[in-house]
Amino acid sequence: MEILYTLHICGIENMEKVYSKEILEGIKKKFPNVEIKVHSPRRTYLKIEREKVYEFAHYLFKELGFRLSIATGIDTRDGIEILYHFSDDGAGTYYTIKTVVPKDDLKIKSLADFLTAANWIEREIHELLGVEFVGHPNLVPLLTPEDWPEATYPLRRDYE
């Protein structure tokens, strides 16, 4: 079989249009600790310590007008990693806030008080991974049945 279609890198030619330097510079000015990783023109990952997540998410939602798409919780060796996926709908770009919550102190400030969209997903991460969202108005399980045993977290991995 002949060589199939040549692989080409996703939309680099459109880089200027979507990859917003101003937004990233503004973020860097306000939050100098942020580690910025541009994966592709439309996908950016921003790593920040957990104490700053609340403030940072507030900045993205209130000042830049991004929409919270969803959050992801991942069990890793370093702790539970939480990713808040924010979408800049005008430019079609995703900004993902990355933070790690250590296993011996599974606590992070809840975003639900200013961001209603975070309400359900925080409940989901709480029941599936056991992260406590401090200040959440109603942190009861969302998906697991009523008779689900306590402190049993289905998405945890048993790393040694």
Binding site for another protein (CB under 8 A): 4-5, 7-10, 39-40, 42-43, 45, 67-70, 72, 74, 83, 85, 89-94, 96, 115-117, 119-121, 137-138, 140-146, 154-155
Cβ-based nearer residue to another protein, 102 or 137: 137
Cβ-based nearer residue to another protein, 51 or 152: 152
Candidates 126, 43, 121, 50; CA nearest to 86 is 43
Is beta strand 132-134 parallel, antiparallel or unpaired with respect to 35-40?
unpaired
Q: How many other CB atoms are there within 10 angstroms of residue 54's CB atom?
A: 18
Cα separations in angstroms, 71 against 19, 76, 86, 92, 97: 22, 16, 9, 18, 9
CB of 108 to another protein, least distance (A): 17
Cβ-based nearer residue to another protein, 135 or 154: 154
CB of 84 to another protein, least distance (A): 11
Whether 85 contacts 96, CB under 8 Å:
yes
Cβ-based nearer residue to another protein, 48 or 121: 121
Burial 73-89 (b: 16+ CB within 10 A, else e): bebeeebbbbbbbbbbe
Cβ-based nearer residue to another protein, 12 or 51: 12
CB of 21 to another protein, least distance (A): 19
The position carrying tokens 């249009």 is: 17
CB of 27 to another protein, least distance (A): 18
CB of 29 to another protein, least distance (A): 26
